Amino acid sequence: MTAGYGEIDYDEIYRDSAATGGPPWDIGGPQPAFARVLDDGVKGPKVLDVGCGTGELALALARRGYEVTAVDFSRVAIEKARSKAAHEGLAVQFEVQDATALSLPSAPFDSVFDSGLLHSLYRRGDGAEDAYLRQLPGLAAPGANLFVLAISVYAGQGWGITEEYLRASFAEPEWVDTRVEQIDVFAQIGDRELLLDGFLLRTVRAAAAS
């Protein structure tokens, strides 16, 4: 299986950038915008990281004692993530899966994280993001917290998403208490650090009907 979405081969990107520190989104830790969330916003014990890359966010969650499942389409990225987890002695369930057709027997989860996946699917322009979004309510337990970090259309990259799109994608009745804040999204190209305009969405899976 070629680990690609649309025209992008993520396995190739991870292999080709290994000598220079990895792809731009692999910054050696979770996105800084998640710092407050990790400190006091995570519901557990079961947490899902969708589009986990080489596992930095999943590992940060595991260090805090959560039962973490993490998936990515790139086998190369998942192999790196598993190696990191083994080095630290952390138990994370890393799996190679397509985010548009997830199969996760351990669902539903108490918290769900998406750090840059939704905007990548949206960028494809083939409706893949719709298939992904349709799955999320079934992956989140009633009352679960969901977090989406995404690059803004105003970041100057020629692509991205809007706050209006995020709010429409996580609206009632499936989602409640939706909040969106403007943030900086960090990227790294060699020794050069970039700051891109982005959003952090927080929402809650609506409680089951009584």
Q: What is the pLDDT of residues 63-119, one digit of tens each?
A: 999 999 999 999 999 999 999 999 999 999 999 999 999 999 999 999 999 999 999
Amino acid at 171: A
As a CATH number, domain 43-205 is 3.40.50.150
pTM given for the model: 0.94
Confidence of residue 189 (pLDDT cuts 50, 70, 90): confident
CA 77 – CA 94 distance, rounded (Å): 10
Q: What is the pLDDT of residues 117-159, one digit of tens each?
A: 999 999 998 999 999 999 999 999 999 999 999 999 999 989 9
HSE-CB of 195 using CA atoms within 13 angstroms:
5
